[in-house]
Amino acid sequence: MPTVTGKLDKPAERFSLELEDLLKELRRRRWTLIRWGPERQPQLMAAMFKRQSCADVLILRDEHRATGYRVPTMDDTGVFNPERVSYQYHSSALWALRAILGLPEPGEPGAPMALEAPDVPCFLPDDLPQPVIIRPLG
């Protein structure tokens, strides 16, 4: 999987082995992947895992800039460009992925519950092409 920037320009081989393993873990956990732009050079990549009352989201801009957040979905609003989030983490792709995969399940001890305003990195640019949704296999 290539890295993600405004325009992706780094080949997948530049991801660290640990990051590749965590991305494989997303697929194993049946997260849905979303790509904006062509497969070889997407503008943006994201992954999401929808639950009954919330969704966990990972936005990959490039290997050094990524965002993970949990968004409530009770009112059928979209998971991207959220009005409120119960958790957000902005860092490198590796650390954001670790953070979002490490969140306790909703309702478990330590799971985030309070809602807050999302920071700017939780939002997608307005000028993205039509997304391609890659559903998990199985």
Check residue 5 and give its pLDDT.
39
Structural domain contains residue 7: no
Residue with the larger pLDDT of the pair 5 and 58: 58
pLDDT tens readout for residues 49-90: 999 899 999 999 988 999 999 999 976 567 999 999 999 999
Pairing status of strand 54-62 against strand 65-72: antiparallel
The number of distinct structural domains making up the chain is 1
**Residue 129 within any structural domain of the chain:** yes
User: Is residue 9's pLDDT more than 70?
Assistant: no
Residue 35 counted as domain residue: yes
- The boundaries of the domain holding residue 99 are 12-134
- For the record, the structure tokens of 41 come out as 């050079």
Residue 1 lies in a domain: no
Q: What is the pTM of this model?
A: 0.83
Check whether 8 has a pLDDT greater than 60.
no
Q: Does 44 fall in a domain?
A: yes
Q: Is the pLDDT of residue 44 over 50?
A: yes
